[in-house]
Amino acid sequence: MSFFAGIFKVQQPAQRTFGWADVVVIALVILLIYTGVRLSFGAPATVTGPSISLKPEVLPYYAIRSVGRMAAAYVLSLLFALVYGRAAAYHRRAEQVLMPLLDVLQSVPILSFLPVVLLGLSTVLPQAIAVELAAIVLIFTSQVWNLVFVWYQSLTTIPGELNEASTIFRFNTWLRFRAVELPFAAIGLIWNSMMSWAGGWFFLMAAEIFTVGDRDFRLLGLGAYLHEAASQEDYGAIAGGIAALVLVIVLLDQFVWRPLLAWSNRFTLEMVEDDNPPTSWFYALLQRAHISRWLDHHLRQALLNGVDALLVRPAAARPAPAEERARRPWALYALLVLVGTVVLYGLEQAGEMLVQVPAAQWSEIATGLAATLARVLIALLVALAWTIPVGVLIGTNARAATVLQPLVQIAASIPATALFPVLLLVLLDLPGGLNLAAVLLMLMGTQWYLLFNIIAGAAAIPEDLKFTSRLLKLSRRERWRTLILPALFPYIITGAITASGGAWNASVVAEYFQLGGQAHQVTGVGALIAAATASGDFHLLLAATLGMILTVVLINRLFWRRLYRRAEEQFRME
């Protein structure tokens, strides 16, 4: 057991406290919320949404609409991640602002912004465009942070020999991106894209069924179809909608994600070939097809050669960083003054709105935060109870992984919000059914973050350590205590951070919901946000949203981030 204790590096973890960057970021978030709330005052009093048909023949069209929104958000997320992550990885001054900004933004409950974004956009844009754009923005914010983190981490961990090779061959920014950075990060980007896409389904379904009092912002899609079927208690339509959703998920898995995983295996840096590499029948079929080879040679290669000829420039022709910084420093100062002025004005106006919130409502917000926090903790504990043993089983047992991993990927992609109306029909008549339904929705939206991280952690345990534990004849309890749990600790904390954020997000739809024309709610800050939106109480909406944001950020910074630093420093195998 002392052998395994020596494997894990033990040192005092560095703690990061609040700094000026955090204050600026939170101020910008407050300004953004205030701007949206201010625009909401001019939103149309009545909005008529589309008629949702429950005929089976509309399901293909609804599926295409839903997948189109997901694809648009994913493309924006990937492009943003590539630019943002690169700036944070290669520019020290930018990193000092961009990483705290990312730390705060990924902690903000996304669904609490949906009412503000929808009402604000509907004031300045036509209704159809505003609703579609709001849905895409919501999905974008659910997908992008995961991609930014993995891209940033990949750029900062590129092996030294690859960096030296790119320097020797005098690669410019484009060639380095295409030949070094993107291939090195490909596997991580694809796996996290699968995770981001699965999470995006949750928020897409929430956006497709959104209503605010007399304002009907529903969208044609699978989420609206399932919600309408549940409202009418049409069980045949419910079964058809769920079947269509599962079919879309399976098709994407077979024709997109599995081929990409099989293709990305070429970018592994291992000296020994994997005994069980990822495979795809569709990717193998494409490799054998003559038309695929023709397109690769005449289209892809020609396009890349054209881009190379356009973007490749001698390294010496680029201006030195010092020269770039010396150009027009006044522009930067002017921009900072302008941003500071706007932020201060926004904070002053937001403060005036918050002062008008009565003490009774502040008390309701405090009670709601405590109730929602309790549900988040319950959902997290339940998720940990089953994801740790199942994740270790899948990550360490090849036979079990062959059977369970595809099922887990499909189950994780089925959005909880699509099944929630069906779940409500079963639980509403039970004692405490509303509270149980709220916890279950939080659990359904958070457990997969933990499971995927635990699977990755279990699979990353070196085989020689597993062999050593068997050689020492450690009992199962000793093996868990001295090897498995210490090795999993960083992955558990990473999964818990994202899972808790997902639970807070889910509270907005889990604690307040409308079914069959009747509103149901439980005590919680998510219910306050949804109810304030439905009644048009924008002062309460601003106060409750800010209360949730500050609570989540404080919990992440004072609790989860400290555990994350401890896991990063003390339980890192070397």
Q: What is the pLDDT of residues 53-82, one digit of tens each?
A: 889 999 999 999 999 999 999 999 999 999
Closest CA to 146 of 201, 72, 198, 90: 198
pLDDT of residue 296: 74
The type of residue at 539 is: H
pLDDT category of residue 291 using cuts at 50, 70 and 90? confident
The type of residue at 537 is: D
What does the DSSP 8-state code read for residue 211? E
For residue 127, is pLDDT > 70? yes
Interatomic CA distance for residues 40 and 485, integer angstroms: 49
- pLDDT tens profile 481-518: 888 888 888 778 877 877 887 788 788 878 887 766 67
pLDDT of residue 517: 65
For residue 272, is pLDDT > 50? no
Interatomic CA distance for residues 368 and 278, integer angstroms: 46
354 touches 542 (CB < 8 A)? yes
3-state secondary structure of 319: coil
| Angle at alpha carbon of residue 23, lines to 371 and 442, rounded to 5° | 25
pLDDT of residue 96: 73
Crossing angle of helices 359-396 and 398-413, rounded to 10°: 150
For residue 271, is pLDDT > 60? no
Crossing angle of helices 92-105 and 59-90, rounded to 10°: 140
Sign of the Cα torsion 187, 188, 189, 192 reads positive
3-state secondary structure of 267: helix
For residue 462, is pLDDT > 50? yes
Q: How many residues does the chain have?
A: 574
Average pLDDT over residues 172-176: 81
pLDDT of residue 324: 43
pLDDT of residue 441: 83
* Cross-strand partners of 310: none
pLDDT category of residue 1 using cuts at 50, 70 and 90? very low
66 touches 208 (CB < 8 A)? yes
pLDDT of residue 377: 93
pLDDT of residue 73: 93
pLDDT of residue 322: 45
pLDDT higher at 464 or 246:
246
557 touches 100 (CB < 8 A)? no
Q: What is the CA radius of gyration of the chain?
A: 25
230 touches 236 (CB < 8 A)? no
For residue 299, is pLDDT > 80? no
pLDDT of residue 326: 47
pLDDT of residue 77: 93
Interatomic CA distance for residues 293 and 290, integer angstroms: 5
- Percent of the chain past pLDDT 70, that is, above it, reads 76
Domain ranges in the chain are 2-44+57-270+357-573, 280-311
Interatomic CA distance for residues 182 and 20, integer angstroms: 33
pTM over 0.85: no
Crossing angle of helices 222-231 and 235-252, rounded to 10°: 160
List the end-to-end C-alpha distance of the chain, in Å, as a whole number: 16
Interatomic CA distance for residues 197 and 203, integer angstroms: 10
- pLDDT tens profile 312-335: 654 444 444 444 444 455 665 676
Least confident of 114-128, 170-184, 446-460: 114-128
For residue 457, is pLDDT > 80? no
Q: Find how far residue 332's CA is from the centre of its chain.
A: 32
Q: Give percent helix, percent strand, percent coil of the chain, each to the nearest 5.
A: 80, 5, 20
Least confident of 83-87, 324-328, 469-473, 546-550: 324-328
Closest CA to 193 of 81, 66, 276: 81
pLDDT of residue 508: 81
Average pLDDT over residues 155-175: 79
Average pLDDT over residues 97-113: 68
Sign of the Cα torsion 389, 391, 395, 400 reads positive
Which residues lie closer than 8 Å to 403 by C-beta, 6 or more apart?
none
For residue 221, is pLDDT > 80? yes
Instruction: Give residue for tokens 């419910």.
Output: 238
pLDDT higher at 74 or 476:
74
pLDDT of residue 180: 85
Interatomic CA distance for residues 20 and 329, integer angstroms: 22
According to CATH, the topology of domain 2-44+57-270+357-573 is MetI-like fold (1.10.3720)
Query: Considering the chain, what is the average pLDDT of its residues?
Result: 77
pLDDT of residue 464: 72
- pLDDT tens profile 185-208: 887 788 778 878 877 887 787 778
Average pLDDT over residues 238-252: 87
Closest CA to 118 of 446, 544, 270, 110: 110
